[in-house]
């Protein structure tokens, strides 16, 4: 973690997993996200796939923004807003991908569930600090 002293000084939810869980979980989730994208585009890029791919790209950008906002800027409220937007865009991606590739959509469900849990953890940090 970028600023572990700051993070470890925060009051956190009792449901917060040990720090060792996060790299393992995110590695699996990133593999599933990549596989989802692969299955979505494997049969070619057509005009009707453009909007779903834009939505997918937005959620990736939001995903990449969360860590620096939370850990580097220590802006836990902005990070919470980002993760809420991320949840919305991942749900939209699941719905849009489902129309062309059910497997691509299903692969994003664990990510979606993890994000809801992460949003809860982020919210608890706001409340407890």
pLDDT tens, residue by residue, 33-68: 999 999 999 988 788 899 999 999 999 999 999 999
Return the domain boundaries, the chain: 47-129
Whole-angstrom Cα distance, residue 3 to residue 89? 28
Mean pLDDT calculated for residue range 79-89: 98
* Residue 23 confidence (pLDDT): 95
Alpha helices, DSSP H only, in the chain? 4-9, 21-41, 50-67, 76-98, 102-107, 109-128
Query: ∠ CA(106), CA(111), CA(112), 5° rounding?
Result: 85
């Amino acid at each position: 973690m970028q600023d572990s002293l700051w993070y470890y000084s925060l009051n956190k939810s009792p449901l917060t997993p040990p720090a060792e869980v996060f790299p393992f979980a995110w590695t699996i989730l990133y593999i599933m996200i990549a596989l989802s994208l692969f299955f979505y585009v494997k049969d070619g890029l057509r005009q009707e796939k453009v909007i779903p791919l834009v939505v997918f790209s937005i959620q990736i950008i939001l995903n990449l923004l969360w860590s620096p906002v939370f850990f580097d800027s220590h802006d836990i409220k902005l990070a919470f807003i980002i993760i809420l937007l991320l949840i919305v865009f991942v749900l939209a991606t699941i719905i849009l991908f489902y129309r062309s590739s059910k497997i691509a959509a299903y692969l994003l469900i664990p990510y979606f569930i993890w994000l809801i849990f992460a949003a809860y953890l982020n919210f608890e940090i706001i409340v407890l600090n």
